[in-house]
Chains A and B, each alone.
Chain A
Amino acid sequence: AQSVTQLDSQVPVFEEAPVELRCNYSSSVSVYLFWYVQYPNQGLQLLLKYLSGSTLVKGINGFEAEFNKSQTSFHLRKPSVHISDTAEYFCAVSPPRGSASKIIFGSGTRLSIRP
């Protein structure tokens, strides 16, 4: 079975400051890793994904994440945040094989940007 832990429920940062949202996962098999963003009163939008290959993946809106197998982590980073990045961010995993593409989500990190 897989599980996802997002270590921070809330992260406040000032506009134009860098940010890192932490994510650790647990799995006995190899997994795909994702970060989703949820803006207020909206559904989920895929920010980026790691399937295989290069451990540094780049996504939309200037976000990037690094897969670290030894630490079972997939932390999300942005060098300079904007007010529009205010949202809930979810780290997620799914097994690479299996017809039921069940995605397991973490509990989310609320990113609030201060002007």
Chain B
Amino acid sequence: ETGVTQSPTHLIKTRGQQVTLRCSSQSGHNTVSWYQQALGQGPQFIFQYYREEENGRGNFPPRFSGLQFPNYSSELNVNALELDDSALYLCASSLIGSGKAYEQYFGPGTRLTVT
């Protein structure tokens, strides 16, 4: 069973640029959720993708967008980067339809630094 993987592990961008983060879900899972974890804080829900469509969104502006592909992998895109976007971005996969959609398996995260 393959776990959740994320790439890249670290990234440095300049304010105003755009960034794409990638996530491969655990084998057999059909849902991907993205979280932002600022330094010293708990993860905050950004959005979830199921069947290639957004399936719930947290309190994040539209410049945070995502995609899910037919193989259930996912991308998180952030446009017009701001300094406050510096954080650890976590991806989690789960299986809607199993009765255990609450069981989310997290990847190691991508550390984004905006300068």
The chain A residues found within 8 Å of chain B, CB to CB, are 4, 32, 36, 41-46, 49, 51, 90, 92, 94, 96, 98-108
Contact = CB atoms under 8 A, between A and B. Distances in A.
B43 A90 contact: yes
B42 A106 contact: yes
Contacts of B7: none
Contacts of B19: none
For this complex, into which size category does the number of interface residues on chain B fall? Answer: 20 to 34
Nearest to B42: A105
A98 B48 CA distance: 12
Contacts, number: 68
A45 B101 contact: no
12 contacts: A32-B102, A42-B109, A43-B106, A46-B103, A90-B42, A90-B43, A99-B101, A101-B48, A101-B96, A105-B35, A106-B42, A108-B42
Given A43-B107, A45-B106, A102 B42 contact: no
Nearest to B90: A43
Interface string B23-48: 00000000101010000111111001
A100 B45 CA distance: 11
B106 A101 contact: no
Given A101-B33, A102-B48, A102-B58, A108 B104 contact: no
